[in-house]
Amino acid sequence: AQKVTQAQTEISVVEKEDVTLDCVYETRDTTYYLFWYKQPPSGELVFLIRRNSFDEQNEISGRYSWNFQKSTSSFNFTITASQVVDSAVYFCALTSLDSNYQLIWGAGTKLIIKP
Amino acid sequence: GAVVSQHPSWVICKSGTSVKIECRSLDFQATTMFWYRQFPKQSLMLMATSNEGSKATYEQGVEKDKFLINHASLTLSTLTVTSAHPEDSSFYICSAEGQGSSNQPQHFGDGTRLSIL
């Protein structure tokens, strides 16, 4: 069975702090893909990153970075020097042949950045 | 990049009305489109998967006669909520993927907020 767990329901930090959003996944497939999406209050989903299971290199994009650890089945997302505009709900998702490539979604983490 | 247009963005209507939501892929051919429903403070729930020219595949618990999906062309899928009632009020989101890109990020519409009075 496939599953994505985002244990943090809500995180609140003060602007400029670093914050890490956790994502733990379960799958039997050896080939799979992991995603992070951002959903601001306006509702639209913004694609942030896609990572395949064979690429364990960590990625950095500006203030965003992702730590993929197959050994712990985790794909954590860190925002450095957070800003108020980062306030949103962040979803981690998984897809693979086992799910017929349908997205398996985590419950989401609501991130609140206080000024 | 790929763009998916969803219309309307907001609907308020009376109970018993049928509401149609359109999802268009603007610059690519979407062989598969997905319809999601999202309740407040919850994750996305897949309602159905539609492939162009064939019947949609509904997830367990989703009423086919209630949520009619049509995917008549490679750029357009519609979701019709028939005889809508207050419990159908929700945020509906469509997404699309092109041929041979099942492991690529799905491209999402901006969603439709449906409020049934």
* pLDDT tens profile A87-109: 999 999 999 888 877 899 999 99
The region that residue B111 occupies, defined by phi over 0 for left and psi between -120 and 50 for alpha, beta otherwise, is left
What does each C-alpha distance from B24 to A16, A80, B5, B33 come to in angstroms? 39, 36, 5, 9
A-chain residues within 8 Å CB-CB of B42? Answer: 107-108
pLDDT surpasses 70 at B51: yes
Residue located via tokens 């998984």:
A94
Write down the mean pLDDT value for chain B.
91
Residue located via tokens 């997205």:
A103
A-chain residues within 8 Å CB-CB of B34? Answer: 102-103
Write down the mean pLDDT value for chain A.
94
Stretch B51-79: mean pLDDT, rounded? 92
B106 and A103 within 8 Å at the Cβ level: the answer is yes
More confidently predicted of A57 and A79: A79
pLDDT of residue A14: 97
A101 and B42 within 8 Å at the Cβ level: the answer is no
Stretch A60-78: mean pLDDT, rounded? 96
Highest mean pLDDT among A10-24, A86-100, B20-34: A10-24
B34 and A102 within 8 Å at the Cβ level: the answer is yes
CB A56 within 8 A of CB A78: no
pLDDT of residue B19: 97
Stretch B103-115: mean pLDDT, rounded? 87
Mean pLDDT lowest among A34-38, A54-58, A105-109, B5-9? A54-58
pLDDT surpasses 80 at B104: no
Residue located via tokens 């308020």:
B12
Stretch A44-59: mean pLDDT, rounded? 90
